[in-house]
Structure 1
């Protein structure tokens, strides 16, 4: 029972983190676009919308367990991209806090990798996916 609770709590935490990110983007899409443009990316408003929609998809996958491992891997790639794009080494000289933000992304990435390997658990999981299937711990 404690394993199930831990897995469901982890899924809720992942979903909550990405839900908050999406809500902030939707609530301030223009500000998000300005932040993206400041990092040097083209089409910042389009990328802001794309990021928000992607995060909503991640929330759905973490809450339902559908395509959970795939979503966790994609989320991991996204988190590492964000670490380098918005908190990378070029920013550490001007603001040492950026190094902390950068490292935090890697701890989140580690959790997402662990989740991808172990799947969404047996409870409240749709069991849909290419990697993890209901009844297997790692999709093997």
Structure 2
């Protein structure tokens, strides 16, 4: 029972973080686009919308368990990208907190990798994944 509770709490935390990130983007998409532009990326409004849509998908996967391991791996790549793009070494000079933000992304990555390997648990899960799409069901 404790294992099930821990897994569900972890899924709620992962899902909740991406729901919060998405909510902030939808509340002020222009501010998100400005932040993206400030990092030097082209087409910042388009990228802000793509990030919000991607994060909605991640949140849905974590909260439902559908495509859970795949989502955890994609989220891990995304989190490392965000670490380098927005908090990487070029941001550390003059702002030591940026280094802390950078490192925090890797602790998040560790949790995502652990989740990807262990899956969404057995309770409150839509058991969907890429593997299930391509592996034929056993014939009864």
Q: Please indicate, yes or no, whether the TM-score normalized by the shorter chain is above 0.5.
A: yes
Report the structure, 1 or 2, having the larger helix content: 2
The TM-score, its normalising length taken from structure 2, stands at 0.93
Count of paired positions = 133
Q: Which residue of 1 aligns with 2:53?
A: 53
Shift of 1:72: 0.3
* Larger Rg, first or second structure (1 or 2): 2
Alignment of 1:2-17 (within 5 A): 2-17=2-17
User: What residue is the counterpart of 1:44 in the other structure?
Assistant: 44
For residue 94 of structure 1, report the CA deviation from its aligned partner. Answer: 2.1
1:17-56 CA deviation, whole Å, 9 max, x = no partner? 0000000000010000000000000000000000001000
Unaligned segments of structure 1, at least 5 residues:
134-140
Deviations 1:91-132 (A, max 9, x none): 101211000000000000000000000000000111110258
Runs (4+) off by over 3 Å: none
Structure 1 residues 16-95: aligned runs within 5 Å:
16-95=16-95
Cα distance, 1:13 vs. partner? Answer: 0.1
RMSD: 1.2
Secondary structure of 2:130's aligned partner: coil
Unaligned runs of 5+ in 2: 134-140
Structure 1 pair 111/131, CA: closer, same or farther in 2 (3 Å)? farther
| TM-score calculated relative to the size of structure 1 | 0.93
Query: Could you tell me which residue of structure 1 aligns to residue 114 of structure 2?
Result: 114
Q: Is the 8 A contact 1:89 1:99 kept in 2?
A: yes
